[in-house]
């Protein structure tokens, strides 16, 4: 597991942005621009504050439970940065405005109607809405993320022993993502045609190094119809054969890591696979940071000058 000594920005955890009433343009503004009327505050939290094992209990109300455990164990610490708004592309925001009053859930979990692009349900979530958790899940699924298409190269996984900090393995990847539907920024808009299979997204992963996993490749086809299961194929370079993955295999460890295929992008499953319940909203520190303000690694330096963020604390000892 990698732990970074990173700068966190005080911000809204908008794990909630959905309705029991019809959305308005004001709801869209509040959803995408939460700091427009002022930034959030918490007693004692200010830029430059270092939260570590010695004082973390004072700030536990604004720290994610998993991160709280890491800090309490002395594995890492965080330095609070200035509040920053990382705005999404204006086309995504406009697509959300265009969808006001047109999007609704279907009768079954995993069904949605009237959605074209943007954030399906930008209204503030309400405990009175029995299906608000499901709406939040749709917001997550159709989040802007990396946009309509993306290539992440190179992408490194480093396997470390949590007790000793010893680096055991490094895998170099090439990741690609393509949205067939709900596109807002790159032509064709809002979808790629023809699309006879009715795909929403494709994910392609290729392992480049080391030799024992070189050319291992994963291809996932996700359907627009959330009730249909993904098609996924795995090519094993050392066996020189392709095999189709059963649905249950997406929860197996991927290449010996702690990560499942279902963990890609945070959650890489169907809406219909889970029951979604809204437990409430809470303001916490979230891990967004200014790349060049951090300690950059001298390892894996790219030809264009890009450097990765260096590991810190227990992950780098």
Helices 90-98 and 25-32, packing angle to 10 deg: 150
pLDDT tens across the length of the chain (317 residues): 233 333 333 333 333 333 346 799 999 999 999 999 899 899 999 999 999 999 999 999 999 999 999 999 999 999 998 888 889 999 999 999 999 999 999 999 999 999 999 999 999 999 999 999 999 999 999 999 889 999 999 999 999 887 787 889 999 999 999 999 999 999 999 999 999 999 999 999 999 999 999 999 999 999 999 999 999 999 987 778 898 988 668 888 888 888 898 888 889 889 999 999 999 998 999 888 788 888 899 999 888 999 998 887 877 76
The percent helix, strand, coil of the chain (3-state, each to 5) is 20, 25, 55
Containing 69, the helix (H) or strand (E) segment is: helix 65-72
Separate counts of helices (H) and strands (E) for the chain? 4, 12
Domain 149-264, second-level architecture: Clam (2.50)
CB 88 within 8 A of CB 28: no
Annotated domain spans of the chain: 7-145+276-292, 149-264
CB 53 within 8 A of CB 78: no
Q: Is 172 exposed, middle or buried (0-12, 13-18, 19+ CB in 10 A)?
A: middle
């Amino acid at each position: 597991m990698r732990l970074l000594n990173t700068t966190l920005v005080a911000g809204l955890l908008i794990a909630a942005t959905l309705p029991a009433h019809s959305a308005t343009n004001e709801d869209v503004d509040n959803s995408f621009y939460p700091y427009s009327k002022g930034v959030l505050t918490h007693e004692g939290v200010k830029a430059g504050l270092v939260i570590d094992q010695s004082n973390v209990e004072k700030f536990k109300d604004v720290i994610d439970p998993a991160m709280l455990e890491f800090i309490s164990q002395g594995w890492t610490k965080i330095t609070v940065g200035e509040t920053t708004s990382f705005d999404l592309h204006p086309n995504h925001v406009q697509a959300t405005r265009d969808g006001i009053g047109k999007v609704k859930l279907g009768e079954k979990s995993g069904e949605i109607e009237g959605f074209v692009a943007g954030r399906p349900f930008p209204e503030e979530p309400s405990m009175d809405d029995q299906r608000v958790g499901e709406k939040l899940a749709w917001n997550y699924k159709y989040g802007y993320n990396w946009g309509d298409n993306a290539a992440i190269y190179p992408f490194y996984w480093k396997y470390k022993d949590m007790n000793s900090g010893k680096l055991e393995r490094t895998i170099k990847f090439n990741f690609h993502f393509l949205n067939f539907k709900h596109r807002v920024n790159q032509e064709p808009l809002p979808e790629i045609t023809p699309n006879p299979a009715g795909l929403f997204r494709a994910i392609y992963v290729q392992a480049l190094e080391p030799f024992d996993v070189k050319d291992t490749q994963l291809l996932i086809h996700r359907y627009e119809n959330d009730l249909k299961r993904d098609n996924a194929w795995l090519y094993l370079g050392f066996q020189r054969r392709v095999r189709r993955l059963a649905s249950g295999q997406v929860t197996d460890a991927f290449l010996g890591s702690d990560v499942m295929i279902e963990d890609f992008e945070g959650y890489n499953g169907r809406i219909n696979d889970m029951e979604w319940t809204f437990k409430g909203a809470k303001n916490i520190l979230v891990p967004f940071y200014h790349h060049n303000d951090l300690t950059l690694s001298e390892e894996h330096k790219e030809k264009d000058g890009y450097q990765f963020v260096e590991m810190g604390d227990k992950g780098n000892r």
